[in-house]
Amino acid sequence: MPLPGLSTLTCEIRLIILSHLSQRDLSRCALVNKDWHALCTPELWRVFSISNPVSFHRFKTEKMQQALAKNIHFVQDLETHYIGVIKFIVQQSNSDSQESRVERRRHYFATVNQLPESDSALSWWS
């Protein structure tokens, strides 16, 4: 008998499992398909670290800044001493409306689990 898939696990269990993976493994998992991408992306962006000149140089590229702007709502921990990074994140966070945050979270959780119809169920995220 085949083993049950990831989809049989609750959202909380899936997130606990993902939290133990390395960034490299999470990146690989995100490439599996759209569902895995939606599941792994928040964990990939949870900690954003620009701690040395090489990572700062990478941050200054347009591609990286676009990716960060798209995923800024997932960042929970920022590790940097570069003021330019902090300014960019504050600017992006201020332009991120309440509606768009709720909508992105709804999209993410709809992929992981079924969401209730009410917006009030998401109010604790704000």
- 74-97 pLDDT, tens per residue? 888 888 888 888 888 878 777 665
Domain-embedded: residue 120: no
Q: What is the pLDDT of residue 126?
A: 36
**Which residue blocks in 7-121 are alpha helix, DSSP H?**
11-19, 23-30, 34-45, 53-59, 62-71, 83-95, 98-112
Domain-embedded: residue 119: no
Kindly give, in sequence order, each residue whose CB lies less than 8 Å from that of residue 14, ignoring residues fewer than 6 positions away: 6, 39, 112
* Cα gap 125→116, rounded to integer Å: 14
Helix (H) or strand (E) holding 124: none
Q: What is the pLDDT of residue 101?
A: 58
Judged against a pLDDT cut of 70, whether residue 2 lies above it is answered with no
**Does residue 88 contact residue 116 with C-beta atoms inside 8 Å?**
no
**Does residue 113 contact residue 90 with C-beta atoms inside 8 Å?**
no
Give the structural domain span for 66.
8-114
Question: Domain tally for the chain?
Answer: 1
Domain-embedded: residue 73: yes
Domain-embedded: residue 126: no
What's the average model confidence in pLDDT over 45-65? 90
Domain-embedded: residue 29: yes
Domain-embedded: residue 53: yes
Confidence of residue 107 (pLDDT cuts 50, 70, 90): low
Judged against a pLDDT cut of 60, whether residue 120 lies above it is answered with no
